[in-house]
Amino acid sequence: MPNKELDQTLVLIKPDALKNSLTGYVLSQLSEFHTGLRFAGVKIVHVTRMLAAEHYAEHVGKVFYDSLLEYITGNIHYPGAPEKQRVIAIVYQGPDAVRKLRDIAGPTNPHQARDTKPGCIRALGTVAPLKNAEGRIVGERMDNLIHASANDTDAEREIKLWFRPNDIPPAMQGYPTRESGDHFYFIGNRLLTTHEPGSVLIVAPGDIVWKSDLDALQQHFNGGKAGTTLESVVAKYLVNKFLEGKTST
């Protein structure tokens, strides 16, 4: 990004941090006083399976993938309690945002974090045994309290995955936007431009959306080749609208 003041990164305060009442500690560590970074957007998100799968798409097929989705959706720390299953998603902005937050977060594995970087946030995390259906230990799960984007490319993808432009003040928006001239509705795994019973309105004429999202919606609707999945665009519009598994009331 040419203007370093607009550098951005996505942070997620994960369910284990919320359960352990570490939110205040994490926010203090990330404050402008310590990092020189500012809030550009903040929201409480009940993480759907769709959003979780898009966020961690790079880990599909790995032994820890299913437990990673269970973890980020809150099913591990708040089983059976959807009213407590949430993460805090934050866009931080300012020079070198990605590097600064990766640095304060520390290594992915909390054991390694404690060994090599005492004082980093993830040094307060835990590593839990990962069991199969028979209860046999088949690996481990890293409950590491926060997510921070790994690089600028990931930050752009992740911020657009979790946030709509108008979740962020206009002067703080770091990526190109466009005004939609169309209605787009979502039902099942299909996109519509006119309403059908049970479909969800994603975008209406006059809405300001990420340019890349609008391009992708138009390409998906026209059956062309889009550079991104439909779910990666749609997921944020379904956030906090319905309970998991329901796309209409």
140 binds ligand GTP (CB under 6 A): yes
- Least distance (Å) from ligand GTP to the CB of residue 238? 22
CA distance 42 to 39: 7
Query: Would you say 77 or 147 has its CB closer to Mg ion?
Result: 147
Query: Would you say 153 or 222 has its CB closer to Mg ion?
Result: 153
Q: Which of 204, 7, 1 is nearest to 102 (CA)?
A: 7
- Tell me the residue type at 65: Y
The CA angle 206-242-202, to the nearest 5 degrees, is 20
Query: Would you say 139 or 198 has its CB closer to ligand GTP?
Result: 139
Catalytic: 147?
A: yes
CA distance 10 to 157: 10
Buried b (16+ CB within 10 A) or exposed e, 19-57: eeebeeebeebbeeeebebebbbbbebbbbebbbbbbbe
157 binds ligand GTP (CB under 6 A): no
Residue 167 structure tokens: 């979740």
Which of 147, 157, 160, 164 binds ligand GTP (CB under 6 A)? It is 147
Could you count the other beta carbons within 10 Å of the beta carbon of residue 243?
Answer: 11
Helix axes 152-162, 97-105, angle to 10 degrees: 90
- Least distance (Å) from Mg ion to the CB of residue 47? 15
84 binds, among Mg ion, ligand GTP, none (CB under 5 to 8 A by kind): none
Region of 67-75, 130-138, 145-153, 199-207 interacting with Mg ion (CB under 5 A) = 145-153
Region of 62-70, 75-83, 142-150, 178-186 interacting with Mg ion (CB under 5 A) = 142-150
68 binds ligand GTP (CB under 6 A): yes
Where in the sequence numbering do the catalytic residues fall?
147
Residues binding ligand GTP (CB under 6 A): 59, 64, 68, 108, 139-142, 144, 147-148, 150
Residues that bind Mg ion (CB under 5 A): 150
